[in-house]
Structure 1
């Protein structure tokens, strides 16, 4: 099927989606942006994006906060450098208060710190310092982790904050426009159920994959 402006769905894989996304982003006039990928899947999309935009690639770790009895059901998220972000409507429907999620938040912060250590070591996340920032993920379902990431970046005063994904649920795209200066989405199909349904190949990535992708970007970037 076709997405917005003739984009063919499903994408072959995240790399193909990243190439197409990078081309779309060239129309924004970004200047050597800081491209921040949400690991793990967002890193594979972000590598060709960063190369196409002549940007600097790094990761911004954001973790979903799940329901205490059902960790896969997200009720919020937390990103490095930011405070937890909760979906107030969902909490109200479930009869939960933010205070009820203290242990879950603590566990997710611990996993977040572990991943930051694996991906970046002692190196700090680059500061926006008024420059262009592009946040990249492989897709948006509820958008809760992207929202936490965008709010964390806002504290670093970026000049222009762009959220870029290959595919997203239409209602999530509308909600994200309140969080970023620009939201770039290649396709927002109405029959959206999960990100993976829009990729022919949607392998689960691990930490080794992320490090390999970051290394491939560094080698390609250094050779230019």
Structure 2
């Protein structure tokens, strides 16, 4: 990977991290991970000059690679501990999964778009990241691998899927943007007991919608 990750890229990442600190990201492990993951490798070559701007960009199949601030903000809300077992809903480019892996988590990631799933499954190991990748409907989670310490949803949901709540460990955290297509509220759901959940709200964001079913082309 080193030959594709120049000192210039590393310098641009440092600037990005400095900008994230100014915007309020305080978790040093999140900042260190963003400082290490080569975001430019996750993007179409035409966008390489924009790879370290704090913006979202298209990645194909009507999806985007999330804005670094959003990735950092959601990762910080998860309060990740080393070896946490994390379910990510919406693999997309694989960038968020790489950040979580860089933080020492064990990542199970689900993608409903076959084109993106196949691309990421080949690409991530090539640059040294090995999450467990699954092609399925994220609304269903991964019941066979539950429970999870943390669950992260990277698409806007009209409500919190019941299947995901059930797959969260007691004491676990679920981070999800909830709301209508044009604006969602970032929410943290903490499982207090078998039946009891506590919710926290963290402001407005805009994500692509969390859709049902899978896309096989």
TM bucket by the smaller chain?
A: 0.3 to 0.5
**Larger RCO: 1 or 2 (CA < 8 Å, sep 6+):** 1
More strand by share: 2
